[in-house]
Structure 1
């Protein structure tokens, strides 16, 4: 018998309606967080066919949820994958390159919410130079 350690229920004898429902849609072990850090939640809208941001890094971990559409997601060392509405994604930040976060749909927008733990006063993402991309090419998973 499995036990959901993330179950959320609080008896409310004064409730006049049904209780809220909680569904855990993603859970990962906590990666290192910058110290000091700030949490930033961003809503991203990718127009149809958008390639997203160029390869970049974040100063800390990021956790996201796709609200609608489909996102092509690729981190250094991992194959690209499609994250669909209702699914989660995360990245450790730091030295790991985030190669892709583009819209997988040519005829509809994709929207996702992402919460990042960033170093205060630094940009939430930093582009990676073409020279470094070339230098680190062996770390990228084979392309489809």
Structure 2
């Protein structure tokens, strides 16, 4: 007979991340997307989130994640993360592994009529290279 009185039989809630209240523009709507990168994929090119912040959770694999002003870091399955919206450049969301895919859920604030992600030009990347942290 198995013991069902232990903690494994109870629902739990664990805070994975807490972010100070971000500025959210009026008329914003919220979308949640599932992103899958195959092994070795470079992810999306440098971009911004024009509608506001994005909040994510790693499901599988590892992602090399880099935001303007922060050193690149590896996120693994089970890690929560976020990136500010507005002017901050999101440099990398690459699959850090060449042998397995990675996937994550991302909840984004979006403004009507604007794209989810706004690409950054090569010229602007050059102008702002001093804001990028090299590790």
Asked if TM exceeds 0.5, the reply is yes
Instruction: Find out whether 1:20 has 2:11 as its counterpart.
Output: yes
2:86 pairs with one of 74, 88, 94: 94
Quick one: distance in 1 between partners of 2:122 and 2:92? 15
1:129 pairs with one of 115, 121, 132: 121
Distance apart, 1:22 and its partner CA: 1.3
Aligned to 1:63: 55
For structure 1, the residue ranges without an aligned partner over 5 or more in a row are: 1-17
Aligned to 1:117: 109
Distance apart, 1:21 and its partner CA: 1.7
Distance apart, 1:19 and its partner CA: 4.6
For structure 2, the residue ranges without an aligned partner over 5 or more in a row are: 1-8
TM score, norm. by length of structure 2: 0.90
Q: Which moved more, 1:45-54 or 1:31-40?
A: 31-40
Instruction: Find out whether 1:42 has 2:33 as its counterpart.
Output: yes
Please provide the CA RMSD for this pair. 1.0
Instruction: Find out whether 1:76 has 2:68 as its counterpart.
Output: yes
Quick one: distance in 1 between partners of 2:25 and 2:89? 17
For residues 58-115 of structure 1, the C-alpha deviation after alignment (integer angstroms, 9 at most, x for no partner) is 0110000000100000000100000110001101110000000000010000000010
Would you identify which runs of 4 or more consecutive aligned residues in structure 1 move more than 3 Å? none
Quick one: distance in 2 between partners of 1:27 and 1:109? 27
TM score, norm. by length of structure 1: 0.84
Distance apart, 1:20 and its partner CA: 2.5
